[in-house]
Amino acid sequence: MKKIYILCILCNLHFLQAQNVGINTPVPTKTLDINGDLRIRTLPAGTGADKLIVADASGNILKQTASVRTASIGDIKDSYATADHDGWYLLNGRSIASLSAAVQANAATLGFSTSLPDFAGSYAKTAATVEPLNTSGGSSTVSILKANLPQYNLNAVTNNPGDHTHSYEDTYTTANVYYADAAPADSGGAWNYYIYADHGSNTEAAGNHLHTFTLSSNGGNQAMGLSPAYIALKSFVYLGN
């Protein structure tokens, strides 16, 4: 009886090896075809060389190389998120005393001894060779001074620069005009007096020439904005958990 039972088992195993096995499906298309959920109660830990198990749109199980990005302490990112999450902390100028001890220690390695930087309204720039990290500065507007303008000349002339005259006051001599007073005894007659009188006159046309004048800038001394087109996001630093 035992021999018959063992023979049946062997026959079934041979049959299973030649057929696909279906669970909740009468027509399996794979070696194991499950029409339903899958649960594995125990999974051993993997290594860095292991592959990821993924499923395509039809539910076929595939493997692919792992490509999971992990953040490092000090990484900066912009986000639509508005609060701390997954080890990322909002750069809003808060005191690091409000953070956990482990996060405070990570912040200290970045030079944040008392507070996190406040990125509100600021841009990040690459530090210069002699510039310490976490250095802040700059302004969102600037006023242009005269010393900041490039050197240039304004060439201009007055209106009607052609030939023209200028008036002036001059004196001239008129003869044979004398006073009715008695002449001196030794003159033997009347003296003629020459009278000098003011007389208005004009210069000759002197040709083209220039006059100096002042040009006004008509400026309003308004500060000029420096911000290019932008989209407002929140900035975070990764400090771990």
Summarize pLDDT for 86-138 with one digit per residue, the tens: 999 999 999 999 999 999 999 999 999 899 999 998 888 888 888 888 888 88
Same domain for 187 and 233: no
Same domain for 74 and 133: yes
Same domain for 194 and 75: no
What does the alpha-carbon distance between residue 168 and residue 66 come to, in Å, rounded to a whole number? Answer: 99
Q: Does 238 score more than 90 pLDDT?
A: yes
Q: Say if 215 falls within a structural domain.
A: no
What does the alpha-carbon distance between residue 107 and residue 96 come to, in Å, rounded to a whole number? Answer: 8
Q: Say if 10 falls within a structural domain.
A: no
Mean pLDDT of 182-204: 55
Domain enclosing residue 236, as ranges: 70-141+226-241
Q: Say if 118 falls within a structural domain.
A: yes
Mean pLDDT of 140-165: 75
Instruction: Quote the percentage of the chain above a pLDDT of 70.
Output: 68
Q: Does 55 score more than 50 pLDDT?
A: yes
Same domain for 129 and 82: yes
Greater confidence, 170 or 54?
54
pTM: 0.51
Q: Residue 9 — pLDDT band, cuts 50, 70, 90?
A: very low
Q: Say if 77 falls within a structural domain.
A: yes
Q: Say if 112 falls within a structural domain.
A: yes
Say what the pLDDT of residue 152 is: 78
Instruction: With beta carbons less than 8 A apart as the criterion, state whether 52 and 80 touch.
Output: no
Same domain for 90 and 184: no
Greater confidence, 218 or 205?
218
Same domain for 78 and 194: no
Same domain for 239 and 121: yes
Q: How many domains does the chain have?
A: 2
